[in-house]
Structure 1
């Protein structure tokens, strides 16, 4: 369905036991094992960004990236410009917007789900599925 492309390398780490109070901006890949009290985002022009929020981590603020993988707690809105993966221990308290969503059993969302339409430049939008008429 979605073409698998190489994920960017994770070049930055917020380690377990680390607490950041303030906004975080990153490029390419970021893994959060600690706590962040502020927004985490990548620049809109940084295509292919990857954000991993691990099981022990807590983020209180908005999260924005292309590919977002969550297995910890996020208190705030989540915006995945491409793919949002929710692992079994993911807890989100806020609205979620995404192009594609993969949600494992056990993950919870307390907020609205808002699917986004993504059409790459020069790419036609896929036709909607239509039910065949039965005789």
Structure 2
């Protein structure tokens, strides 16, 4: 969280499987993916992955639920956030919703309007619905 190079390291772990919703773009609908996604634009819908990472940049906005093992928020989220392993809130993060997390880092200045709910070890796995086959 404190190192400026950390964001590159996080996204590089998913090399070849990183998607971007660019500044000025707006996506309406749910997003399910493998790997990592960086949201620099607007997302109106739920974001979900069973094995990857979601990053909401300073300019990014998400209206919907986010579910992923690793989540980094520097922008705005209106909805619940479920990070089964690691949740990082930057100094400019703004969240209106409940946060469910395994481990959490939070910088001074981050704003939360909701509950903080630590997940016990038995609650951490995020399972994708059986109807979702990402291997196709």
TM-score category (smaller protein): 0.7 to 0.9
Structure-2 residue corresponding to 1:8: 14
How far is the alpha carbon of 1:117 from its aligned partner? 1.4
What count of residue pairs does the alignment treat as equivalent?
111
Q: Does 1:17 align with 2:24?
A: yes
TM-score normalised by length of structure 1: 0.78
Instruction: Tell me the distance in 2 between the aligned counterparts of 1:88 and 1:11.
Output: 24
Equivalent position SS for 1:85? strand
Q: Which has the higher helix share?
A: 2
Which ranges of structure 2 fall in alignment gaps of 5 or more residues? 1-9, 123-136
Structure-1 residue corresponding to 2:41: 34
Equivalent position SS for 2:91? coil
Structure-1 residue corresponding to 2:113: 110
Query: Which 4+ runs in 1 deviate beyond 6 A?
Result: none
Equivalent position SS for 2:109? coil
> What is the CA RMSD across the aligned residues, in angstroms?
1.6
- Which protein shows a greater Rg? 1
